[in-house]
């Protein structure tokens, strides 16, 4: 009698990337909404400076280290402070974009999760920027800090904040520089399996030193960003732990092996003596 074949198990569903054009339009749209939204917060100079004094006093009440200590370390060498200014200007957007592109191409299961978390954090930050305009410490006379971007360069901010049409300088809290950097690190740790992956945390750590040392942000700005990120991570469902390797060749090979036909033995013919015994036992 011929044998028949049956699949041993169901194949794992293939992970499909979201349509590229849709993603490009979505990310570009979110960016434009954020940029235009930040511009709405311009023109609140007096309120932003009052809030800056409050934040400075809150930090002293909480016994947080002074931002000036970090800046003093950077000012030991002009090359060091220029590096910090360059890092502040040049790394923020490119690093986040590279992170999303890499996830889209190599870890499609993690890409929607990371994009949703970043969008939620950015949206919440925009609301806070509009409701709580805050001047950075470089504008606060009480802080006694140097505006390293204007003194050493490079900088993306105009010398007169009220007339700056490129950026809202009164949107210090929360620090999206730190919030995005922390998400990039956590996302790469979740999406990779290397034993060295905790080193990605050096990116938000260096970002924290840069934003504080250049007097663009307070410590509380970074803390607020971390709180918003924690809330977004709690709301957005994370991919399963094994999703990091789901798009790899080894995973595809495993899925193909699971669908290989397996020979099933044909039913054994019953001998004549056994048949008669069975018939006799039924009498």
**For residues 238 and 190, is the Cβ–Cβ distance under 8 A?**
yes
Report, as an integer, the average pLDDT of 249-278: 46
- Taking all residues of the chain, what is their mean pLDDT, rounded to a whole number? 82
Burial class (CB in 10 A: 0-12, 13-18, 19+), 12: middle
**Residue 10 belongs to some domain of the structure:** no
Give the residue among 141, 139, 124, 131 at the shortest CA–CA distance from 44.
131
Residue 206 has pLDDT above 80, yes or no: yes
Report, as an integer, the average pLDDT of 71-98: 95
Residue 62 has pLDDT above 90, yes or no: yes
**Residue 255 belongs to some domain of the structure:** no
**Residue 1 belongs to some domain of the structure:** no
pLDDT band at 43 (very low <50, low <70, confident <90, very high): low
- Provide the number of structural domains found in the chain: 1
**Residue 276 belongs to some domain of the structure:** no
**Residue 275 belongs to some domain of the structure:** no
**The pLDDT of residue 278:** 43
Residue 283 has pLDDT above 80, yes or no: no
- Residue with more model confidence, 31 or 196: 196
**Residue 252 belongs to some domain of the structure:** no
**For residues 11 and 259, is the Cβ–Cβ distance under 8 A?**
yes
Percent pLDDT > 90 in the chain is 60
CA distances from 69 to 53, 58, 210 (A): 19, 18, 12
**Residue 57 belongs to some domain of the structure:** yes
**Residue 260 belongs to some domain of the structure:** no
| Rounded distance between C-alpha atoms, residue 201 and residue 181, angstroms | 9
| Rounded distance between C-alpha atoms, residue 224 and residue 125, angstroms | 9
Residue 281 has pLDDT above 70, yes or no: no
**The pLDDT of residue 276:** 45
**For residues 210 and 69, is the Cβ–Cβ distance under 8 A?**
no
| Rounded distance between C-alpha atoms, residue 138 and residue 70, angstroms | 13
DSSP classification of residue 159: S
Report, as an integer, the average pLDDT of 208-216: 97
Give the residue among 155, 168, 158 at the shortest CA–CA distance from 126.
168
Phi, psi (5° rounding) for residue 263?
A: -70, 130
Which range marks the domain in which residue 186 is found? 20-155+168-245
Say what the pTM is: 0.79
């Amino acid at each position: 009698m011929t044998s028949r074949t049956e699949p041993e198990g169901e194949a794992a569903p293939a992970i499909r990337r979201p349509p590229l054009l849709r993603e490009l339009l979505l990310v570009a749209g979110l960016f434009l909404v954020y940029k235009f939204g930040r511009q709405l917060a311009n023109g609140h100079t007096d309120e932003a400076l009052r809030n800056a004094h409050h934040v400075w006093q809150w930090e002293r009440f909480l016994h947080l280290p002074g931002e000036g200590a970090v800046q003093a370390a950077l000012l030991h060498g002009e090359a060091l402070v220029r590096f910090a200014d360059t890092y502040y200007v040049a790394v923020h957007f490119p690093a986040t974009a590279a992170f999303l592109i890499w996830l889209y191409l190599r870890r499609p299961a993690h890409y929607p999760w990371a994009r949703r978390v970043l969008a939620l954090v950015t949206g919440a930050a925009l609301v806070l920027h509009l409701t709580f305009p805050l001047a950075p410490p470089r504008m606060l006379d009480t802080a006694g800090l140097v505006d390293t971007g204007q003194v050493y360069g490079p900088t993306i901010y105009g010398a007169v904040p009220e007339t700056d049409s490129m950026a809202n300088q009164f949107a210090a809290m929360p620090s999206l520089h730190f919030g995005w950097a922390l998400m990039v690190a956590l996302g790469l740790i979740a999406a990779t399996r290397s034993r060295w992956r905790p080193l990605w945390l050096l990116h938000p750590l260096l970002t924290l030193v840069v934003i504080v040392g250049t007097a663009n942000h307070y410590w509380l700005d970074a803390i607020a960003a971390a709180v918003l990120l924690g809330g977004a991570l709690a709301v957005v469902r994370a991919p399963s732990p094994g999703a990091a390797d789901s798009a790899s060749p080894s995973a595809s090979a495993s899925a193909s092996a699971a669908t290989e036909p397996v020979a099933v033995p044909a039913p054994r013919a019953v001998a004549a003596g056994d048949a008669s015994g069975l018939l006799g036992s039924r009498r």
